[in-house]
Chain A
Amino acid sequence: MSATLSPAIAGELSIRSLHKEFGGVAAIKDLDLDIRAGEFLCLLGPSGCGKTTLLRMIAGFEEPTAGVIELGSTDLTRMPAHKRPVNTVFQAYALFPHMTVAENVAYGLKQSRTPKKEIGQRVDEALTMVRMREFADRSPGQLSGGQQQRVALARALVNRPKVLLLDEPMSALDRKLREEMQVELKLLQKRLGITFIFVTHDQEEALAMSDRIVVMYDGCIQQIGSAEEVYTRPANSFVAGFIGKQNFVEAVVVSDDGGALRLRSVNNTTILPEPNAAGDPGAAGRPVPSVGDTVRVAIRPETLRLRVAAGVPSAPNAVLGRIAGVSFLGDVVQYVLLIGEDTEILSRVPRSDAVPLPTDEDVLIEWDGVDVAVYCDEA
């Protein structure tokens, strides 16, 4: 059955120099993006970053100010929404309240004048697939949020779109249900092989589901990569800060020995980033700081090691701090550490590795140079 729902032609999208302005304000700035056939792509970014505008242009609800959107060899740019082989799962589902669940799902098929018998079969398949078959005669108002979402999914997928667009479809669900739906959606996508473009502002959701993540900010793409890439090798400090928990501290470049930087930060802490490590300046065309520059240093909370201090550290990549708070988060223990007067950083330690630490005296905070990322940009 999965074959019947699979698209005949792969949904390969190519977006060239796409530009969109609303009343003179640019929402999308000269954006290029290639979306591979059958991939699960997340557009991730804070609200107002242009991700929804991009999605709406792919769907055909907004006309680009300039640029081209192509599906395979078909130019979609000026094609009206109802002619595009693309379907959408809307944020608030947008189920037709005056139709039953079955009528909602059949709507798209009726538009393409599918024979009645086939409509019945395909609606049945689609509803069975999302396990809503027994709700076929209900009206959408009688369904819970999760059920409405699955109907919305069936309504879109029953048309066998080449690309399925999902506009923050999980935002109305509670956490537990959302996590279950993430798994379900991912499995469904793998099985159907349809290109999924998923818009979200929830980075955990993006990390959990995507083959690739497109991090957007201010109408531009900040980074494209797998979940691991954007997490471990953020292209800039925006991405570094947006994805996952992050500690940022300011530091001054003291010396540059052929790319091996020596930085000084709060409390005269010496930071030695390891060259060619994560977030290495110079990589991917990023600017290289010169001696005397102030830079932003990012260190993930889980890369910090804490132990009882035995005096002021002399080695680099270590600093003394005081534990200002401890929270138990289930699988990890999170410490809020105070360095000096007002520099707060986070440390996360797996519960099994957590050792009792004094809260009334300084602890030693250590990290490896390889986990240090240095950014010259302002974010």
Chain B
Amino acid sequence: MTSRFRKFLGDSALSFPTWAYMLFFFALPVALVMWYSFGFKPDQFTTHSMEQLSLGRYREVVSPTFLSVFTATLRISIVGTLACLVIAVPFAYWLAVKVPPGRRGLLLALVLVPFWTNFLVRTLGWQIILSPDGFVSEALQGIGLLGSPLDILYSRAAVQIGVIYNYLPLMILPLFVAMDSAGVQLREASADLGAGKWRTFFQVTLPLATPGVISGCLLVFIPLTGDYITASVLGGANGTMIGQLVANQFQNAQNWALGSAMAVVLMLFTLAVVVITALLALVVKAVIKYVGRVELPTGQHAGPDAGTAADLPEGSGVRQAEPAVSGTTTGGPHA
């Protein structure tokens, strides 16, 4: 490699294979899907045609069937994400704070075991558990809690349980990492300043874990919205998710144009939900910040009467001391 070429590429040269691969096998095909979404299906045997570009497929997408499936999917994924969050927050806190450090690694590995088990197989496990003639059903009837066999499999509720289960580890992990890296010292500082356990949790631990909450929610919400395997195993006919509709257009109806349009809509809506949630979170954060703000008396510090002169140990020479370092180079953990 000549030095001029190397200079042109700079230190990015090493990343070239990764670039090439991701562009060729991800960006290009996805761009192709977007392109197909403007085409149409000319006849029974052709998947798509691009001879006439239109937004017609998008009009087709916005059909009552699609919309009802879409709403149902959105409900399952939002409820699922929130449920994962509610389950994972105390759990991650327990793991990061209450469990002795020596045992933390083992327990974390245990959390990962289901995560590393085939998720279809795990879902099948739930199918057995929830089935009307399964052992849970029989046990519940046996102790008189249920009068008739358990009627939950192939319902929305079963789908909800299944997705919460399947995506829970993806919420626990980033939350644990965030709570663990905040470190014990800030919690001790909080206790030292008079905050009890609950206040420390809500004012220090949780705010510092925000990045973990965000990445956990994204890691759960996005794949969950596109998932239709869990739903079809546990929900049967009642478990149609939006991903299933998209897949059907490709695998059964052979209508790539319509399927592509659905996929684009799915992506855009997923993105929209994420953006709206992020904006909402920002507003909530701003409100909390505003409510808890500290208002210092203005102008007082500049005046000579505030007792400032007397408070400064003169001659210590710190007045001209170090300028503020910009950025985040100085010590201390950062959120």
Contact = CB atoms under 8 A, between A and B. Distances in A.
Instruction: Decide if the interface of chain A is mainly helix, strand, loop or mixed.
Output: helix
Nearest to A88: B192
Contacts of A61: 188, 191-192
A121 interface: yes
Contacts of A364: none
B186 interface: yes
Contacts of A172: 331
Contact of A111 (B193, B297, B333): B193
A319 interface: no
A81 B196 CA distance: 9
A25 interface: no
B253 to A, nearest CB: 51
Nearest to A141: B328
A244 interface: no
A123 B207 CA distance: 22
A14 to B, nearest CB: 21
A82 B300 contact: no
Contacts of B51: none
Contact of B292 (A90, A110, A155): A110
A86 B208 CA distance: 25
Interface string B280-295: 0000000000001111
Contact of A90 (B185, B294, B301, B325): B185
B196 A82 contact: yes
A96 B330 contact: no
Contact of A144 (B185, B293, B322): B322
Interface stretch (B39-47, B71-79, B256-264, B303-311): B303-311
Contacts of B7: none
Contacts of A107: 190, 193, 195, 203
Interface stretch (B80-88, B130-138, B312-320): B312-320
Interface string A64-82: 0000000000000000111
A97 B335 contact: yes
Nearest to B187: A94
B147 interface: no
Contacts of A144: 322-325, 330
Interface stretch (A183-191, A232-240, A256-264, A321-329): A183-191
B144 interface: no
B301 to A, nearest CB: 4
Contacts of B310: 1-2
Interface in A113-127: 116, 119-121, 123-125, 127
B294 A106 contact: yes
Contact of B330 (A87, A143, A181, A188): A143
B248 to A, nearest CB: 46
Pick from A96, A131, A156 the residue with the most CB of B within 10 Å. A96
A103 interface: yes
Given A2-B311, A87-B193, A141 B332 contact: yes
Pick from A87, A119, A131, A180 the residue with the most CB of B within 10 Å. A131
Interface stretch (A39-47, A132-140, A298-306): A132-140
Contact of A129 (B190, B199, B292, B311): B311
B65 interface: no
Nearest to B210: A98
B321 interface: yes
Interface string B210-239: 100000000000000000000000000000
Interface string A143-179: 1111110000001100100000000000010000100
B327 A142 contact: yes
A77 to B, nearest CB: 16
Given A129-B311, A144-B330, A92 B185 contact: yes
A112 B317 CA distance: 35
A184 B335 contact: no
A252 interface: no
B194 interface: yes
A106 B245 CA distance: 54
A125 B210 CA distance: 32
B324 A187 contact: no
B276 interface: no
B334 interface: yes
Contacts of B306: 1, 124, 128
Pick from A83, A116, A156, A184 the residue with the most CB of B within 10 Å. A184
Nearest to B308: A128
Contact of A183 (B199, B316, B333): B316
A54 B199 CA distance: 26
A15 interface: no
Contact of A82 (B192, B307, B312, B322): B192
Given A116-B295, A124-B296, A141-B330, A155 B307 contact: no
B194 A111 contact: yes
A93 interface: yes
A60 interface: yes
B295 A120 contact: yes
A57 to B, nearest CB: 13
9 contacts: A82-B191, A82-B193, A82-B196, A90-B189, A120-B297, A147-B322, A148-B332, A159-B194, A180-B321
